[in-house]
A and B are shown apart, each in its own frame.
Chain A
Amino acid sequence: MSTAATETTPQDDVAVPDDVLVDVRGLKVHFPIKRGVFFDRTVGHVYAVDGMDMQIKRGETYGLVGESGCGKSTFGRALLRLEEPTEGTVLFDGVDVASLKGETLRRKRQDMQMVFQDPLSSLDPRQTVESLLLEGMQAHGLAKDGKAATARLRELLSAVGLPPAALRKYPHEFSGGQRQRIGIARALSVNPQLIVADEPVSALDVSVQAQVVNLLEELQEEFSLTYLVVAHDLAVVRHISDRVGVMYLGALVEEADADDLYAMPLHPYTRALMSAVPVPDPTTEDRRERIILAGDLPSPANPPTGCRFHTRCPWKQEERCDTERPQLRTIELEGVPGTHRVACHFAEQIQRGEIQPHEVDVSFVEQVDAQPDDATPVTVEPGAP
Chain B
Amino acid sequence: MTATTTRTSRDARTSREPLLQVRDLSVTFRRSGEEPFHAVSGVSFDVQPGQTVGLVGESGCGKSVTSLAIMGLLPKRGNTVTGEAVFEGTDLLKLSPKQMRDRRGRDVAMIFQDPLSSLNPVVPIGRQVTEVMERHQGLSRKEAEPKARELLDKVGIPDPSRRLKEYPHQLSGGMRQRALIAMALACAPRLLIADEPTTALDVTIQAQILTLLKDLVQDSDTALIMITHDLGVVAGLCDEVNVLYGGRIVERADRHDLFARPRHPYTHGLLASIPRLDSARGERLNPVPGSVADNLPWDHACAFAPRCSNAVEACRTTQPELERIEGGVETPRLLRCHNPISEEA
Residues of A within 8 A of B (CB): 67-68, 175-178, 205-211, 213-214, 217, 232, 234-236, 238-240, 258-259, 262, 272-297, 312, 314, 357-360, 362-363, 365-366
Contact = CB atoms under 8 A, between A and B. Distances in A.
B208 to A, nearest CB: 6
B287 A292 contact: no
B204 interface: yes
Contacts of A175: 291
A312 B207 CA distance: 15
B277 A279 contact: yes
Nearest to A236: B275
Contacts of A234: 203, 277
Contacts of B277: 234-235, 238, 262, 274, 277, 279
B29 interface: no
Interface stretch (B1-9, B108-116, B187-195, B327-335): B1-9
A292 B256 contact: no
Residue of B9, B230, B255, B291 ringed by the most chain A CB atoms within 10 A:
B291
A296 B291 contact: no
Given A210-B285, A274-B277, A294 B205 contact: no
B217 interface: no
Interface string B267-289: 00111111111100110111111
Interface in B230-251: 230-236
A120 B132 CA distance: 39
B2 A205 contact: no
A208 B287 contact: yes
Interface of B: 1-9, 58-59, 156, 158-159, 172-175, 202-208, 210-211, 229-236, 255-256, 259-260, 269-278, 281-282, 284-289, 291-292
Contact of A279 (B206, B210, B235, B284): B235
Nearest to B283: A239
B285 A291 contact: no
28 contacts: A67-B203, A206-B231, A210-B274, A211-B287, A214-B284, A214-B285, A214-B287, A232-B203, A234-B203, A235-B277, A238-B277, A258-B281, A259-B281, A276-B204, A279-B232, A279-B276, A280-B231, A280-B274, A286-B236, A288-B6, A290-B7, A291-B2, A292-B1, A292-B4, A293-B2, A293-B207, A358-B2, A360-B2
Contacts of B7: 285-288, 290
Contacts of A293: 2, 204, 207-208
Contacts of B159: 363, 366
A209 to B, nearest CB: 7
Contacts of B284: 214, 217
Contact of B285 (A178, A213, A296, A359): A213
Contacts of B291: 175-178, 205, 207-208
A282 B256 contact: yes
Contacts of A276: 203-204, 206-207
B310 to A, nearest CB: 15
B125 to A, nearest CB: 15
A213 B9 CA distance: 35
A362 B255 contact: no
Contacts of A240: 275
A358 B2 CA distance: 7
Given A206-B229, A213-B285, A232-B203, A294 B235 contact: no
A42 B198 CA distance: 35
B58 A210 contact: no
A269 to B, nearest CB: 9
Nearest to A69: B202
Contacts of B203: 67, 232, 234, 273, 276-277
Contact of A292 (B207, B270, B271, B282): B207
Contact of A290 (B4, B260, B275): B4
Nearest to B236: A285
Contacts of B276: 235, 279-281
Contact of B158 (A258, A280, A290, A366): A366
Given A214-B287, A276-B206, A280-B232, A292 B3 contact: yes
A272 B203 CA distance: 9
A274 B202 CA distance: 12
Given A278-B233, A278-B235, A314-B2, A286 B275 contact: no
Residue of B231, B235, B277 ringed by the most chain A CB atoms within 10 A:
B277
Contacts of A284: 235, 278
Contacts of B235: 278-282, 284-285
Nearest to A290: B5
A205 B59 contact: yes
Contacts of A296: 172-175, 205
A281 B7 CA distance: 13
Contacts of B4: 289-292, 314, 357
A234 B59 CA distance: 22
Nearest to A269: B204
6 interchain residue pairs of minimum CB distance: A278-B232, A210-B287, A239-B275, A210-B273, A285-B236, A276-B207
Nearest to A235: B275
B160 to A, nearest CB: 11
Contacts of A275: 207
B175 to A, nearest CB: 7
A71 to B, nearest CB: 14
B192 to A, nearest CB: 19
B273 A292 contact: no
Given A209-B273, A279-B277, A365-B158, 4 more contacts: A205-B229, A235-B276, A276-B203, A295-B158
Contacts of A285: 7, 232, 235-236
Contacts of B205: 67, 296
